[in-house]
């Protein structure tokens, strides 16, 4: 796992390319503290910082060259051993044990077709000195980031936005369209646009080629196959195949020349990963216990320590626990926002931040994590609403009534969750609209009149939208920045493309059945029965309301500051006037988003258009 950066400069806009590359490398040194390097040739400059996971020797230094090709690579190609053996049959020889060298040979042999042969996650920049062309690629699902900004004859790219900002030619201007979507919908990372105007993310499953004549070709090399079936085969055969693919995925993601630990939340996803990875590590004869890292909340009704401990007791792993509080959040918030590069929706990301920090303190460089399972297996509460609505529309009333009856006892209750949200869900079972949205109320008057340019209401793409637009891209950004901030590679077994394609092709009744989400997974994978039988879902929970209340005066001061930066978007006087009711959660306007946006603009010195 690493950080990459570089430029393609046909207009000679960079008089000192090496100085810029060194600054960009320094800005993302946390992604690769073990080694660094730069490469300059004609119009192209490439930079790399290395986190050593495979072949820890200096042989893995990047930029790496083979013939006319020079490569900087961030990620892991888990099937590199199999690809290396295949390429040997075509006459290729290898001098390292790295997957980077395999990427170079694969590109030399298959060209851009090598992308579909990789099982893993990656962001790649490859320069061919013979043709003076630059090739950029991002993995199928966008696990690894790659951003770029361009002007005629000039393109600048990097793993993180803060690296791009090292170039003084990149303006720090807020993107109004993205901010409106964020404040009203609570959505981020839904399109190629970022919070910075003029800065773009290379989208998942896409590649980009630049030629010396200035021609740019952007294309999608991978599209997730998806066709939705309401009711279909959902028995042991499907569970067995799911288990086989999951076990293969975990096996590949245990490949490393450093110990592999796991995140453990107490939910189904991380519990299944810990149980399976522990089993495989024991079979491999590992003598050290696997380390797990969890976030817990003392005295909170939603603390999942009991479920975490059930997995620890079953597997015998070496468990470590972080205990975030409102005080630690307040102390770390600016650092967290800087880490993330862009605003985020809630304090739940802080739990992940604390887990990664704890893993770093315990000398763990690779973690397995559960992102992706909810999106491919209908793990979210709204997926149940969608399924019930589909059943009603198909006139399968008995099955719909059964699912509603199972759902009702598990409506959220408690001071940190919203019963109103559940009542809205029940209304949606029957096609009714949810309660009126009050999130425009505290926006600046002119800004509030904007029209949303993005629509996410396409029912034919409901589950696919969660996967590739609404939910997963944001989660992948959060976990990448949090893990890499502490020099940790986070691996995601549920996003092996073979498992994703299989799970997405299963009928809905294989995913939701008798009130259980992820039904096929519960049937297929090993985990404590206490967890297997859970119908509730807490998710990335943090006691946000309590944390905000602990520093209410300080957070309110954000809105009373005379130099409030986000005034183009937010009416700070209205927020301050209603502060007490807002902090009690009376109106769900997404108050934390307002705070996060303002702090982001300050931390990155962002201006408005």
Strands of 154-158's sheet in order across: 35-41, 44-50, 2-9, 154-158, 147-151, 199-201
Q: What is the pLDDT of residue 432?
A: 52
Q: Provide the 10 A C-beta neighbour count for residue 179.
A: 24
Residue count (the chain): 609
> For residue 149, what is the DSSP state?
E
5 given a catalytic annotation: no
What is the structure's pLDDT at 378? 95
Q: How far apart are CA 367 and CA 348, in angstroms?
A: 19
In sequence order, the 6+-apart residues with CB closer than 8 A to the CB of 53 are 1, 76, 256, 257, 258, 365, 366, 489
Please report which helix (H) or strand (E) contains residue 604, including its range: none
Beta strand 2-9 with 154-158 is antiparallel
pLDDT, residue 358, reads: 98
Which CATH class name applies to 2-220? alpha beta
* pLDDT for position 434: 47
Cα R_g (the chain), whole angstroms: 24
Burial class for 32, CB neighbours closer than 10 Å (0-12, 13-18, 19+):
buried
Enumerate the domain spans of the chain: 2-220, 236-376+471-532
- Contact status, residue 120 vs residue 79, Cβ threshold 8 Å: yes
| E strands present in 283-331 | 291-295, 318-322
Which distant-in-sequence residues (6+ apart) come within 8 Å of 200 by Cβ? 147, 148, 149, 150, 192, 193, 194
CATH class as words, domain 236-376+471-532:
alpha beta
Q: Give me the pLDDT at residue 302, please.
A: 84
Q: What is the pLDDT of residue 413?
A: 44
The parts of the chain modelled with pLDDT lower than 70 are 409-437, 455-460, 538-540, 586-587
The DSSP line for 204-227 is TTEEEEE-TTS-EEEEE-------
CA-CA distance, 108 to 93, in Å (whole number)? 12
CB 47 within 8 A of CB 2: no
- What is d(CA 447, CA 569) in angstroms, rounded to the nearest whole number? 6
Residues 6+ away with beta carbon under 8 Å from 411: 419, 422
Quick: pLDDT tens for 356-392.
999 999 999 999 999 999 999 999 988 988 999 999 9
Angle value at C-alpha 140, between 138 and 146, nearest 5 degrees: 25
pLDDT at residue 539 in the model: 65
pLDDT score of 435: 43
Active-site residue among 2, 5, 206, 296? Answer: 2
> What does the pLDDT read at residue 437?
67
């Amino acid at each position: 796992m690493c950080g990459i950066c570089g430029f393609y400069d046909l207009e000679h806009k960079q008089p000192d390319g090496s100085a810029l590359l060194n600054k960009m490398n320094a800005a993302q040194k946390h992604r690769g503290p073990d080694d660094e390097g730069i490469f300059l040739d004609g119009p192209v400059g490439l930079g790399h910082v290395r986190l050593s996971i495979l072949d820890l020797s200096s042989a893995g230094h990047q930029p790496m060259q083979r013939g006319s090709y020079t490569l900087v690579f961030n990620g892991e190609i888990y099937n590199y051993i199999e690809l290396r053996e295949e390429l040997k049959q075509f006459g290729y020889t290898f001098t390292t044990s790295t997957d980077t060298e395999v990427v170079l040979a694969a590109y030399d042999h298959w060209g851009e077709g090598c992308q579909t042969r990789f099982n893993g996650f990656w962001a790649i920049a490859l320069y061919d000195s013979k043709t003076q062309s630059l090739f950029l690629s991002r993995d199928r699902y966008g696990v690894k980031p790659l951003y770029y900004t361009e002007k005629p004859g000039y393109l600048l790219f990097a793993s993180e936005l803060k690296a791009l900002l090292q170039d003084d030619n990149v303006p720090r201007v807020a993107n109004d369209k993205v901010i409106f979507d964020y404040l009203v919908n609570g959505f981020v990372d839904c399109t190629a646009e970022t919070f910075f105007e003029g800065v773009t993310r290379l989208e998942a499953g896409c590649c980009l080629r630049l030629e010396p004549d200035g021609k740019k070709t952007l294309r999608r090399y991978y599209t997730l196959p998806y066709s939705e079936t309401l009711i279909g085969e959902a028995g042991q055969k499907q569970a067995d195949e799911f288990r086989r693919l999951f076990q293969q995925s975990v096996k590949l993601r245990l490949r490393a020349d450093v110990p592999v630990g796991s995140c453990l939340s107490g939910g189904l996803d991380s519990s299944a990963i810990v149980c399976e990875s522990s089993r495989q590590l024991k079979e491999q004869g590992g003598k050290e216990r696997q380390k797990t890292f969890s976030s817990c909340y003392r005295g909170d009704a939603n603390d999942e320590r009991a479920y975490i401990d059930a997995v620890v007791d079953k597997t015998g792993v070496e468990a470590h626990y972080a205990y975030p509080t409102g005080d630690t959040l307040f102390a770390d918030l600016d650092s967290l926002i800087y880490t993330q590069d862009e605003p985020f929706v809630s304090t739940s990301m802080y739990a992940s931040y604390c887990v990664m920090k704890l893993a770093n303190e315990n000398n763990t460089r690779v973690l397995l994590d559960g992102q992706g399972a909810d999106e491919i297996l209908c793990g979210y509460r709204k997926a149940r609403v969608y399924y019930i609505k589909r059943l009603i529309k198909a006139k399968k009333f008995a099955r719909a009534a059964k699912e509603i009856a199972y759902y009702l006892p598990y409506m959220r209750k408690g001071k940190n969750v919203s019963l109103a949200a559940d009542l809205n869900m029940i209304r949606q079972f029957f096609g009714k609209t949810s309660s009126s949205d009050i999130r425009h109320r505290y926006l600046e008057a002119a800004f509030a009149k904007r029209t949303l340019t993005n629509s996410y209401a396409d029912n034919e793409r409901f589950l696919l939208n969660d996967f590739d637009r609404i939910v997963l891209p944001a989660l992948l950004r959060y976990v990448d920045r949090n893990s890499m901030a502490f020099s940790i590679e986070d691996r995601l077994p549920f996003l092996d493309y073979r498992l994703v394609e299989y799970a997405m092709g299963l009928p809905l009744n294989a995913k939701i059945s008798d009130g259980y989400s992820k039904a096929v997974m519960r049937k297929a994978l090993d985990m404590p029965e206490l967890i297997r039988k859970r119908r509730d879902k807490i998710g990335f929970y943090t006691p946000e309301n309590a944390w905000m209340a602990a520093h209410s005066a300080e957070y309110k001061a954000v809105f009373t500051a005379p130099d409030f930066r986000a005034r183009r978007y937010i009416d700070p006087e209205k927020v301050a006037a209603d502060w007490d009711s807002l902090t009690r959660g009376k109106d769900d306007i997404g108050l934390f988003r307002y705070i996060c946006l303002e702090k982001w603009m300050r931390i990155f010195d962002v201006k408005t258009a």
